[in-house]
């Protein structure tokens, strides 16, 4: 079945560092791809998405490009802030069907 | 508030007891989802409602788990004869349409002693 694999955490960076969190997926065809973020004490919220190959999703300085050749959707940010500390989840979805999540990557940014 | 509301936020119970978890979706959202998140893992799908009916219940782990949404709004996840392995955070999400963005609640943390 469909699955999502994320780079293992935890990831610890200093403020203003460059961030990459790797995500690859296994699926037949081209599902929509998502990054969700869970800040401490809050519910999951959508960070960005891409619905077809070569699309780039972006929000709050984060970007991810849907690469069908490598079945990847890596999350990047050029300069992280302490407020970016959270757990990040990569996910895929087919139309109206369920979201399938990766295991999550905990990110901690030190001042 | 206008978000997805889940109650209780924390529930501690003993092995073998019955538990109900409630989800109040965003008003007007027709689709409702239940997920389970174990420590250090991503959310796992349990069941999806479109209106009052369960459109996909393939994620329910066994017949001890059951969910209802009788009026197409509030949903209740019911767990019978709880086991220690049921301990997890149970997440609810709703969306305006079947293909729309999912909005998640903060979850109900269930601990089975």
Give the residue from chain A lying closest to B43, CA to CA.
A101
Q: What is the structure's pLDDT at B14?
A: 97
Compute the distance between CA of residue A16 and CA of residue A84 in angstroms, rounded to an integer: 11
pLDDT, residue A1, reads: 84
* Token reading at A8: 């293992």
Taking alpha carbons only, the member of B6, B20, B7 closest to residue B82 is B20
Give per-residue pLDDT as tens, B7-54.
999 999 999 999 999 999 999 999 999 999 999 899 999 999 999 999
pLDDT confidence of residue B1: 54
Prior bond of B8 cis (ω within 30°): yes
Instruction: Say whether residue B83 is in contact with chain A using an 8 A CB cutoff.
Output: no
pLDDT digit string (tens) for chain A, length 111 residues: 899 999 888 999 999 999 999 999 999 888 999 999 999 989 999 999 999 999 999 999 999 999 999 999 999 999 999 999 999 999 999 887 889 999 999 999 999
Rounded distance, CA A48 to CA A37, Å?
Answer: 9
Phi-psi region of B2 (alpha: psi -120 to 50; beta: other; left: phi over 0): alpha
For B113, the token pair is: 């002693």
CA distance A64 to chain B (A): 18
3-state secondary structure chain A: CCEEEECCCCEEEECCCCEEECEEEECCCCCEEEEEEECCCCCCEEEEEECCCCCEEEECCEEEECECCCCECCEEECCCCHHHCEEEEEEEECCCCCEEECCCEEEEEEC
Tell me how many residue pairs between chain A and chain B have CB atoms under 8 A apart.
48
| pLDDT (tens digit per residue) in B77-103 | 999 999 999 999 999 999 998 888 999
A17 touches chain B (CB under 8 A): no
B56–A97 C-beta distance less than 8 A: yes
């Amino acid at each position: 079945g469909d699955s999502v694999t994320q780079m293992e955490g935890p990831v610890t960076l200093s403020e203003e560092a460059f961030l990459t969190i790797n995500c690859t997926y296994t699926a037949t065809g081209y599902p929509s791809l998502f990054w969700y973020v869970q800040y401490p004490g809050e519910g999951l919220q959508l960070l960005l998405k891409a619905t077809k190959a070569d699309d780039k999703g972006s929000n709050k300085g984060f970007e991810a490009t849907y690469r069908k050749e490598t079945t990847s959707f890596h999350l990047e940010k050029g300069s992280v802030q302490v407020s970016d500390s959270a757990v990040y989840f990569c996910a895929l979805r087919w139309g109206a069907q369920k979201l399938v999540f990766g295991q999550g990557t905990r990110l901690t940014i030190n001042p | 508030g206008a978000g997805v509301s889940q109650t209780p936020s924390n529930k501690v119970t003993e092995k073998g007891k019955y538990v109900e978890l409630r989800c109040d979706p965003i008003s007007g959202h027709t689709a409702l989802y239940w997920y389970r998140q174990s420590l250090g893992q991503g959310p796992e799908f349990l069941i999806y409602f479109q209106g009052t009916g369960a459109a996909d219940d393939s994620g329910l782990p066994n017949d001890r788990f059951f969910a209802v949404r009788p009026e197409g709004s509030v949903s209740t996840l019911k767990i019978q004869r709880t086991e220690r392995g049921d301990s997890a955070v149970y997440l609810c999400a709703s969306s305006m349409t079947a293909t729309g963005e999912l909005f998640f609640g903060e979850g109900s943390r269930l601990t089975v002693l």
